[in-house]
Amino acid sequence: MAVNSQTSMVLSLLLTVGLFAGLQLLKPQLTASPLLTVVTGGVCSLLFLLLVTAVGNLEATLFGKGFQTKLLEVVLCLAMACTAAGMIHRVCITVCFIFSLAVLYYMNQLSQATYGAPVAVQPAPSKKRR
């Protein structure tokens, strides 16, 4: 079930705050093993996803449906997610950055498939000899 931009923004912000608080509460357990450190970097990339969603929905609410999230907002969300990852462990920053780039790529693909303009395919000209 789809929700409007305002509701999605509020839900994204609540999930972001809850995820950040959970990461901070579980910090000693998450740094106990190298595998959990990598998993924590992946979870911080979900934090990036939620932040981009919240910012995009805030802009859609304020400026209208046609407004697109710009590169600056995405970079700021990435910096915030990597900062949150850095509060857990240094390795989490690298993992968060790599996973966030993958998340950004797939978000772009999904956005293009959903909102992109259809491309008209023109037939290739045939080479006929007269």
Q: What is the mean pLDDT of each run of 10 residues along the chain (130 residues)?
A: 88 96 95 94 96 94 88 96 95 96 94 80 73
pTM for the full predicted model: 0.85
**Neighbour-count burial of 123, counting CB atoms closer than 10 A to its CB (0-12 exposed, 13-18 middle, 19+ buried):** exposed
**Neighbour-count burial of 127, counting CB atoms closer than 10 A to its CB (0-12 exposed, 13-18 middle, 19+ buried):** exposed
Please give the pLDDT value at position 26.
Answer: 94
Please give the pLDDT value at position 1.
Answer: 67
Please give the pLDDT value at position 65.
Answer: 85
